[in-house]
């Protein structure tokens, strides 16, 4: 897909989204447009697969199949291969055509049919392996919401119009090398994030940051057994890793129910088979649902300085994830609690990269105790990377990436990278360009010391700094001011003095001509 085609597709999708945009908040109309795109994907996937099963049959077009025995056979095969089933009359194209039929009778009213179909997708998976992955997947798609229109007819007209526009877009699902729909979905998620303010942090990590995390955890590898994100949001970080290397299994956990649904849709839209991913919905710190598993790669962008139970829950004192560090992370800041959770889940051959606020590098009290144990006793910290400010949606604070590994090759030093100036202005935000990403990742991989950018600190230096990881302590970015040439300054002052005398003379002459007092 060319860049021009990609931009055209993005413009088409955003125009469709604007049909809903004026009626509700960004995070609300996001659920509708992404839900309908997902329905279109499932339909087209069903139709393509059914047509392959019909290649040896007399009727080769799934839309024309009416025989119940044939439909039952296709249903059985679809549940194994796809994990769900849709009848020909339930496909997206069928609903779009019916909703936009040029007629005055009730045959173009599709709200009830559409609701039945979306519920039917979930019900078709009952008792199968894919049941958990499709459970209540469309629950945020409320077709009876008055925000879509005051009357049923008004709501029907709007939804039919959206379906019609989407039906005209070719997502090229037959092309196995293309990921048109996945890219489109990512684009829309990013656009919604830019308009969702603080809520954006709940579901989206900017792609340039995702790329850094993904490239770091895949360093030296061509394939990963599994990858995990304990605060997975829309799942974009997990999917980014799969763009770098082949990934066998994806695991994630997400607290927000709507975002959890978004992540499962995102996985399926990127053609990740339902047997390959396991996304759970629950509070990771309170109810870790993958606690018995260990992961070769972990990537995460946890909510910055979120509150958690900490010492208010006595069970945390004896929790294997936190107990060995001597102190619990403060209840007002769960940053280290998330970090400890990830370390616990990390495999012995694993690497993790996590975005955290700068405060974790230097805050004292309990966090200082945890940080010291992490460095002195475990020696898992491999690198600290400072990112530019104002690159995340919903916050302008500078952030850092902490890289940890249980199989460190360079276990007698920690690499510090100051990438705080590696950005380009993009409206009211900052963004990392490809050259910035390359410089950061390449410096990490080669563990280079670059003047005013990176420094490889020995453990002795870190201990001398009392385990304070504040990047300016290690990377000297001080720029000396150019020496001032006093002779040049003196000559400029003389020139200015001469000019001022000439101006004063001119003003005095004007005042005399006007017969008024001079101002000096």
pLDDT digits 0-9 by tens, 260-279: 998 999 899 888 999 999 99
Structure tokens at 257: 């129910």
Per the model's pLDDT, the better-predicted residue between 75 and 518 turns out to be 75
Average pLDDT of 202-213? 83
pLDDT of residue 478: 61
Q: Hey, is 223 helix, strand or coil?
A: strand
pLDDT value at 319 more than 70? yes
Residues 6+ apart with CB under 8 A from 429: 390, 391
pLDDT for 509: 85
Strand order across the beta sheet in which 246-254 lies: 277-281, 246-254, 223-229, 295-300, 346-357, 399-405, 381-386, 413-418, 454-458
Handedness of CA 454, 396, 337, 285 (dihedral sign): negative
User: If we measure between CA atoms, which residue out of 470, 471, 473 comes closest to residue 364?
Assistant: 470
Give the Cα separation of 92 and 168 in Å (integer).
11
- Quick check: 395 pLDDT over 80? no
Beta bridge partners of 252: 229, 279
Give residue-wise pLDDT tens across range 5-24.
677 777 777 777 777 666 66
Q: Is pLDDT above 70 for 198?
A: no
Span(s) in the chain for CATH 1.20.1260.30: 3-194
Is 271 exposed, middle or buried, given 0-12, 13-18 or 19+ CB atoms closer than 10 A?
middle
Q: Tell me the H-state helices in 270-389.
A: 335-345, 365-373
Distance CA 13, CA 168 (A): 11
Tokens of 324: 């060995």
pLDDT tens-digit map of 92-113: 999 999 998 876 555 788 999 9
Provide the greatest CA pair distance for the chain: 110
pLDDT tens digits along 139-148: 989 999 888 8
Q: Where are the beta strands (DSSP E) in 236-319?
A: 246-254, 277-281, 295-300
pLDDT digits over 20-37, tens only? Answer: 666 666 566 778 888 998
> pLDDT (tens digit, 9 = 90+) per residue, 39-66?
999 999 999 999 999 999 999 999 999 9
Of 444, 465, 313, whose CA–CA distance to 375 is shortest? 465
Pick the CATH number of 197-473 from 3.30.160.20, 3.40.720.10, 3.30.230.10, 3.40.50.150: 3.40.50.150
Total residue length of the chain: 520
Average pLDDT over residues 68-78: 95
Task: Kindly state the helix (H) or strand (E) to which residue 383 belongs, with its residue range.
Answer: strand 381-386
Lowest-pLDDT range of 159-163, 263-267, 484-488: 484-488
Looking at the DSSP bridge assignments, the partners of residue 352 are: 298, 404
9-18, 176-185, 343-352, 500-509 — most confident range: 343-352
Residues of the chain with CATH 3.40.50.150: 197-473
Write down the pLDDT at residue 194: 61
Element housing 19 (H / E) = helix 3-21
Rounded average pLDDT over 231-245: 94
Cβ atoms of 239 and 217 within 8 Å: the answer is no
pLDDT in tens, 419-458: 999 999 888 889 999 999 999 999 999 999 999 999 999 9
| Residues 382, 405: Cα–Cα separation, whole Å | 7
Question: In Å, how far from its chain's centre is CA 252?
Answer: 13
Nearest 10 degrees: CA dihedral of 65, 67, 69, 74?
10
The CATH class for the domain spanning 3-194 reads: mainly alpha
Q: Nearest to residue 229, comparing CAs of 356, 360, 338? A: 338
3-state secondary structure of 492: helix
- How does DSSP assign 41-69, residue by residue? HHHHHHHHHHHHHTTTSS---GGG---HH
CA-based nearest residue to 76, from 95, 49, 56, 104:
49
Q: Reply yes or no on whether the pLDDT at 4 is more than 90.
A: no
Model confidence at 134, in pLDDT bands (50, 70, 90)?
very high
Distance in angstroms (rounded) separating the CA atoms of residues 117 and 119: 5
CA within 13 Å, CB half, 83: 17
């Amino acid at each position: 897909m060319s860049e021009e085609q990609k931009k055209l597709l993005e413009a088409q999708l955003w125009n469709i989204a604007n049909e809903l945009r004026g009626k509700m908040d960004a995070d609300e109309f996001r659920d509708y447009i992404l839900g309908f795109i997902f329905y279109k994907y499932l339909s087209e996937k069903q139709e393509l697969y059914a047509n392959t099963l019909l290649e040896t049959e007399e009727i080769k077009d799934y839309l024309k199949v009416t025989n119940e025995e044939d439909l039952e056979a296709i249903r059985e095969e679809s549940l194994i291969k796809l994990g769900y089933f849709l009848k020909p009359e339930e496909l997206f194209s069928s609903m779009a055509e019916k909703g936009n039929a040029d007629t005055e009778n009730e045959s173009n009213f599709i709200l009830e049919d559409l609701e039945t179909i979306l519920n039917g997708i979930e019900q078709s998976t009952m008792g199968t392996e894919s049941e958990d992955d499709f459970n209540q997947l469309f629950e945020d798609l409320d077709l009876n919401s008055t925000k879509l229109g005051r009357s049923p007819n008004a709501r029907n007209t709007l939804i039919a119009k959206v379906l019609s526009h989407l039906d005209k877009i070719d997502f090229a699902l037959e092309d196995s090398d293309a990921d048109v729909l996945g890219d489109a979905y990512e684009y829309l998620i990013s656009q919604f994030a830019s308009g969702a303010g603080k809520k954006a942090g709940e579901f989206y990590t900017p792609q340039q940051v995702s790329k850094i995390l993904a490239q770091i955890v895949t360093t030296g590898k061509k394939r990963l057994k599994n990858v995990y994100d304990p605060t997975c949001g829309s799942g974009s970080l997990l999917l980014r890793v799969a763009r770098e290397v082949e990934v066998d299994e994806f695991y994630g956990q997400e607290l927000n129910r709507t975002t959890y649904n978004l992540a499962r849709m995102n996985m399926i839209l990127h053609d990740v088979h339902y047997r390959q991913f396991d996304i759970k919905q629950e509070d990771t710190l309170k109810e870790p649902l993958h606690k018995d598993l260990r992961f070769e790669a972990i990537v995460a962008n946890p909510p910055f300085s979120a509150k958690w139970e900490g010492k208010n829950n006595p069970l945390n004192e004896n929790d294997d994830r936190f107990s060995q560090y001597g102190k619990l992370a403060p209840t007002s800041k769960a940053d280290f609690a998330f970090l400890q959770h990830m370390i616990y889940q990390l495999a012995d051959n694993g690497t993790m990269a996590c975005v955290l606020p700068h405060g974790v590098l230097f805050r004292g009290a309990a966090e200082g105790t945890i940080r010291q144990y992490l460095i002195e006793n475990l020696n898992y910290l491999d690198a600290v990377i400072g990112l530019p400010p104002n690159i995340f949606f919903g916050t302008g604070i500078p952030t850092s990436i902490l890289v940890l590994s249980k199989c460190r090759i360079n276990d007698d030093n920690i690499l510090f990278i100051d990438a705080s100036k590696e950005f380009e202005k993009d409206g009211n935000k900052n963004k990392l360009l490809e050259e910035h990403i390359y410089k950061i990742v390449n410096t990490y991989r080669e563990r280079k010391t670059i003047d005013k950018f990176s420094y490889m600190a020995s453990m002795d230096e870190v201990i001398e700094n009392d385990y304070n990881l504040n990047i300016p302590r290690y990377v000297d970015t001080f720029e000396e001011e150019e020496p001032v040439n006093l002779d040049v300054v003196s000559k400029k002052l003389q020139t200015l003095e001469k000019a001022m005398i000439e101006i004063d003379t001119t003003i005095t002459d004007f005042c005399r001509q006007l017969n008024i007092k001079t101002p000096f």
